Amino acid sequence: KVRSIFHPTDLSDASKVAFVHALKIALLTKSELNVLHVSPKEDIPWQQFPALRPTLARWKLIPEGSPESAVGELGLSVRKVIASSDDPVDACLDFLARHPTDLVVLSVHQHNGRMRWMERAVCQTTICKQLLKIITTFTMLKEKIQKKK
């Protein structure tokens, strides 16, 4: 069972798409969703993070302008964190060491963007193991959807 989802974001458009997938999975599994942005400076405006309540309102799950408590009423717990570091991979691994997760949902840039997940040997270990869980989960969800059609 998925109880905790980790979504590292570089606040790019691609990461916003990954956030929507992470949020949908969190809703389906009633999981905790941890959204982490890593930056050398901590003064990133919260408005740059993916918009949680407006997304839920757009999906007609909560009324527009709902308070934060409306998110919890959906069985969802979301934590947005800014980590101050020059190394996003190390910061993510440190976060995961303190907050174990069942699933990682991320956007992978092909040799560009700020996170550059694929350029570190760590990808062959921790991150890639989590990516395998993601692929397996999406495959299972896709099969369930196709069976219902």
Span 7-49, pLDDT tens digits: 998 888 888 889 999 999 999 999 999 999 988 876 777 788 8
pTM for the model stands at 0.73
Q: Give the SS3 label for residue 48.
A: helix
Write down how long the chain is: 149
Instruction: Assess whether pLDDT exceeds 60 at residue 117.
Output: no
What is the overall mean pLDDT for the chain?
A: 80
**Angle (deg, nearest 10), helices 88-98 and 126-148:** 70
